Amino acid sequence: MNFSDSLQRFVAGAPAQFWWVMGGVLALLVVASAIGQTLTRVKPGSVVDNLNARINAWWVMVAVLCACFLLGKVATLVLFAIASFLALREFITLTPTRRGDHLPLCLCFYVAIPLQYWLIGANWYGLFVILIPVYGFLLLPAVSALAGDIGNFLERNTKIQWGLMLTVYCISHAPALLLLDIPGYEGQSLLLLLYLLLVVQISDVLQYVFGKLFGRRKLAPEVSPSKTVEGLLGGGLSAAAIGASLWWITPFTPLQSGLLSLLIVLCGFLGGLALSAVKRSLGAKDWGEMIEGHGGMLDRLDSVTFAAPVFFHVVRYAFAG
Amino acid sequence: MLSHLLVILVKLLLGAYPRWIGVQPTRAQRVYFANHTSHLDTVALWAALPAELRRRTRPVAARDYWSRGLRALIAQRGLNAVLIERHRDRSEGDPLQPLYDALDAGDSLILFPEGTRNDEALPKPFKSGLFHLASRFPEVEFVAVHLDTARRSLPKGSLLPVPLICTVRFGERVVPGIGESKESFLERARAAVVELA
């Protein structure tokens, strides 16, 4: 079978809703790029340059995500495992670790990440939810103690645990949506993941846009100088409205979809805020610089870390059979 | 082939992002000298260079350590390293002769003037080889480089590297003054590396 045949098979295999949503995202990106280009001509400056860098990075991120969705479950899990790997790398790079942390860190990168995502692929929900908070929580400090370095023992272990929870455990709850068996929604769980990511990221983007256009009152100037009340209200409510209007790709009614989007927006906002505080207490402005204009992987996924586990468990409790 | 593989592996694990602070990546013949805390230093600095410069830049490595088995394969086939004797009594003639030959041939070098890997955050005093090279090759640019996280990624005595983002900072040229003493030059060179930390 040659490449174009397999491509055709993938494209035909995706549900119609997927292509409608992707078409919408594509249209948004085209409009965003057009606005970005116009602003470059009308009002050049560093803010507009950053905006264009962000939009270009979005094209790449959407393309990668779309490709993985079409390739299916395994590719999507691998993509999120790589995202966790890069996010954990950013977190640990900013964390002052010592010689005694070497083995615990190797366990985090080379054992915890593959195992956590394998458990999703193997449909092993019971172990997936406790692997890191129970076994990781106990094993890592034990291994660290065996190395014999007691200097700042509690601080070092706390930071490693935090990094692992946020970047691996929390982020893995986004693709864990593929685990859910929702009556009447069989075989469409990738759409639910797409829904979560869309609402989180559109909320981030709209909060940024509303903040830049109408932002007056800063919400938490010490923690995150770009977050404003106007940005949160305008961006958050618009994102929830967009989420409600996407009910047709979910197992929810329009009202349920709106409320769940509001929950995603709220958790995403709190996640962005908390991770910004963590980042600043580690002495950095951005988590990294791998995504042009955005900062690091964790700058892009900070909202997902809080939104994904809450969304996952609410949907599992209320909708999964 | 092996060198491409090394670069890909290093970029995946460490990023090895260059920051050109004191100099720009030009084709000038150079000796990059850096702090040495980990085996990853050599590959990280080397991978941080643009591909074109990498082809003409050779790391300097200790013959007693890097001439056996897998290490020899990586050092010689992968990195095209210049091997030197660390122990003066084992070498015949000037132990720096292989470096003179490489510089005469027009290659750039990567050098760790502490002589061995160091567990501390700050570099140890530099060995005198750097001064002899700088006096003998005044037209070559001696550039201070600092590597930040290699020590935490792969500390001395461990086998598996922890993936941490390594930033490779290229600082100022250090030029020996007229009649400057060896001690003074080596201390200035060390200070130029420390300043980048």
Query: Percent of chain B at pLDDT above 70?
Result: 98
Q: Which residues of A touch B149 (CB under 8 A)?
A: 93
Q: Which residues of A touch B160 (CB under 8 A)?
A: 106, 110
Q: Is B163 on the interface with A (CB under 8 A)?
A: yes
CB B149, CB B165: distance < 8 Å: yes
- pLDDT score of B103: 96
| Distance in angstroms (rounded) separating the CA atoms of residues A224 and A269 | 11
Q: What is the pLDDT of residues A139-198, one digit of tens each?
A: 999 999 998 889 899 999 999 999 999 999 999 999 999 999 999 898 888 999 999 999
- pLDDT score of B86: 78
Q: What is the pLDDT of residues A222-259, one digit of tens each?
A: 888 888 999 999 999 999 999 999 999 999 999 999 99
| Distance in angstroms (rounded) separating the CA atoms of residues B146 and B168 | 6
pLDDT beyond 70 at A1:
no
Cβ neighbors of A94 (< 8 A, separation 6 or more) are A279, A282, A283, A284, A287
Q: Is B162 on the interface with A (CB under 8 A)?
A: yes
Q: Which residues of B touch A288 (CB under 8 A)?
A: 165
Question: C-alpha dihedral over A160, A163, A168, A174, to 10 degrees?
Answer: 160
Stretch A269-277: mean pLDDT: 95
CA distances from A297 to A286, A294, B63, B165 (A): 10, 8, 41, 12
- Smallest CA–CA distance, residue B131 to chain A, in Å, is 33
- pLDDT score of A284: 86
Chain A interface, best mutation among B37, B164, B166, by max A CB count within 10 A: B164
Q: Which residues of A touch B155 (CB under 8 A)?
A: 99, 102
pLDDT beyond 80 at A291:
no
User: Cβ contact (<8 Å) for A110 and B160?
Assistant: yes
- Smallest CA–CA distance, residue B13 to chain A, in Å, is 9
Nearest residue of chain A to residue B165 (CA atoms): A93
Q: Which residues of B touch A85 (CB under 8 A)?
A: 163
- pLDDT score of B135: 93
CB B133, CB B96: distance < 8 Å: yes
Chain A interface, best mutation among B38, B162, B166, by max A CB count within 10 A: B162
Stretch B10-39: mean pLDDT: 94
Q: Which residues of B touch A97 (CB under 8 A)?
A: 152, 162
Which among A90, A97, A106 is the nearest to B165, CB-wise? A90
| Distance in angstroms (rounded) separating the CA atoms of residues B100 and B23 | 23
* Average pLDDT over all residues of chain B: 91
- pLDDT score of B88: 67
Stretch A37-62: mean pLDDT: 91
Where b means 16+ CB within 10 Å and e means fewer, B107-135 reads bbbbbbbbbebbeeeebbebbebbbebbe
Distance of CA A243 to the CA centre of its chain: 16
Q: Which residues of B touch A286 (CB under 8 A)?
A: none
Q: What is the pLDDT of residues A62-109, one digit of tens each?
A: 999 999 988 889 999 999 999 999 999 999 999 988 888 999 999 999
Q: Is B2 on the interface with A (CB under 8 A)?
A: no
Domains of chain B with bracketed CATH: 2-196 (3.40.1130.10)
Q: How confident is the model at residue A5 (pLDDT cuts 50, 70, 90)?
A: confident
- End-to-end CA separation in angstroms for chain A: 38
Nearest residue of chain B to residue A105 (CA atoms): B162
- Smallest CA–CA distance, residue A163 to chain B, in Å, is 13
Q: Which residues of A touch B159 (CB under 8 A)?
A: none
A283: left (phi over 0), alpha (psi -120 to 50) or beta: left
Q: What is the pLDDT of residues A107-138, one digit of tens each?
A: 999 999 999 999 999 999 999 999 999 999 99
- pLDDT score of B91: 61
Query: Percent of chain A at pLDDT above 90?
Result: 74
Binding-site residues on chain A for chain B (CB distance < 8 A):
85, 89-90, 92-93, 97-99, 102, 105-106, 109-110, 288-290
Which residues, in sequence order, are bridge partners of residue B141?
Answer: B30
User: Cβ contact (<8 Å) for B162 and A90?
Assistant: no
User: Cβ contact (<8 Å) for B160 and A290?
Assistant: no
Q: Is B15 on the interface with A (CB under 8 A)?
A: yes
**Secondary element (H or E) of residue A292:** none
pLDDT beyond 80 at B89:
no
Location of structure tokens 């706390």 = A158
Nearest residue of chain A to residue B154 (CA atoms): A102
Helices (H), chain A: 3-13, 16-42, 46-71, 73-94, 102-107, 113-121, 125-128, 137-146, 153-164, 171-172, 189-214, 229-245, 254-281, 297-318
Question: C-alpha dihedral over B158, B160, B164, B167, to 10 degrees?
Answer: 70
Q: What is the ipTM of this complex?
A: 0.88
Output the 3-class SS for chain B: CHHHHHHHHHHHHHCCEEEECCCCCCCCCEEEEECCCCCHHHHHHHHHCCHHHHCCEEEEEEHHHHCCHHHHHHHHHHCCCEEECCCHHHCCCCCCHHHHHHHHCCCEEEECCCCCCCCCCCCCCCCCHHHHHHHHCCCCEEEEEEECCHHHHCCCCCCCCCCCCCEEEEEEECCCCCCCCHHHHHHHHHHHHHHHC
